[in-house]
Amino acid sequence: MAEDSQMKLSGLTDKVAIVTGAGRMRSIGRPIAVELARQGCDVVLVGTGRKPEHYPPQEQQAGWRDIDSVADEVRAHGRRATTAVTDISDADQCAALVDRVVDEYGRLDILVNNAGAARGDDRVAVVDLDPEVWRKVIDVNLTGSFLMSRAAIPKILAGNVGGSIVNISSIAGKMFGPNTAAYASSKAGLQALSAVMARELGPQGIRVNTICPGIIDTSRIDDMGRGEAWERTIQAMIPLRKAGTGEDIAYLTAYLCADEGSFVTGQAWNVDGGTVVSH
């Protein structure tokens, strides 16, 4: 779709946004960062500093450069971009990142807590779950969002114009499937954290929402395979009979940060093709 045919939202021009977990080529974080730039935001792209030899084959073949490649895409929309390697489970690093953003840009308006622990050794029964693996998932998915929010909130408030925090959760935090104890707990906790912050910060003009993606076709789920097994999963789980894209999450993120979403806070939005139906 040509850019000039895409919806332009209100109130995002010259806003400054931090997006964590923004460096993967096939992802949710990259489309969020690019869409916020297209809507007029300057974007700070946060990554883990992963080594190129650990990139998926598709990224290696493309000459991908993690958050630096996404920064180029942000700048192609005429917006400023800053890259930052940060361990979001470390309070001091989160605080230093937010201070750097305000020093460089003079403001902070939007925080998107998108960084998440990769699928891996946590997908086992509780009795088989290594406590260190549990802690890592909780530290990245929940504690990292808490620490980033804790650091960012005073800076957003200092602007006296309100702002928006969007936490990227998962329908796993509502479905509670077997062998997902750490992941589901972290995402359910993130939804609770978002709701509490929405109540606390609403009177001060900061809106806090959660997006709960379903099956989104990114590199993080490549271990599910493709072909017939993939199609059977899609047909069985998703009423719309297709996987989502990172752009599906990006469009809603931009809406929640824009003036058009100004009366929405404290909500956990399912973007899942109808997998989870709530009332």
124-141 per-position pLDDT tens digit: 999 999 999 999 999 999
pLDDT at residue 219, as a whole number: 81
Query: In the numeric block, which tokens belong to residue 27?
Result: 């992802």
Report the pLDDT value the prediction gives residue 226, as an integer from 0 to 100. Answer: 74
Long-range contacts, 132-138 (Cβ 8 Å, 24+): 133/182, 134/181, 134/182, 137/182, 137/183, 137/186, 138/182, 138/185, 138/186, 138/189
* pLDDT value of position 3: 53
Summarize the confidence of residues 55-84 as an average pLDDT. 96
Mean pLDDT, the chain, integer: 94
Percent of the chain, pLDDT > 70? 97
State the pLDDT confidence band at 65, using cuts at 50, 70 and 90: very high
pLDDT tens column, 137-186: 999 999 999 999 999 999 999 999 999 999 999 999 999 999 999 999 99
Domains of the chain as residue ranges with CATH: 13-270 (3.40.50.720)
Give dist(CA 156, CA 177) in Å, integer. 36
What tens digit of pLDDT does each residue of 11-55 get? 999 999 999 999 999 999 999 999 999 999 999 999 999 999 989
Contact (CB, 8 A) for 41 and 81: no
CA distances from 118 to 11, 159, 161 (A): 34, 34, 35
Cβ atoms of residues 16 and 109 within 8 Å: yes
pLDDT at residue number 1: 40
DSSP for the chain reads --GGGS---SS-TT-EEEEES---SSSSHHHHHHHHHHTT-EEEEEE----GGGS-HHHHHHT--THHHHHHHHHHTT--EEEEE--TT-HHHHHHHHHHHHHHHS---EEEE---PPSSTT-S-GGG--HHHHHHHHIIIIIHHHHHHHHHHHHHHHTTS-EEEEEE--THHHH--TT-HHHHHHHHHHHHHHHHHHHHHGGGTEEEEEEEE-SB-SGGGGGG--HHHHHHHHHHH-TTSS-B-HHHHHHHHHHHHSGGGTT--S-EEEESTTSS---
Residue 2: predicted pLDDT: 47
Q: Which of 58-72, 92-106, 167-181, 226-240 has the lowest mean pLDDT?
A: 226-240
Take residue 169 and report the two structure tokens written for it: 């959760």
pLDDT at res. 200: 98
Segment 92-120, tens digit of pLDDT: 999 999 999 999 999 999 999 999 887 78
183 is an active site residue: yes
For residue 278, the model assigns a pLDDT of 62
What's the pLDDT at 34?
A: 98
Catalytic residue among 55, 105, 183, 255: 183
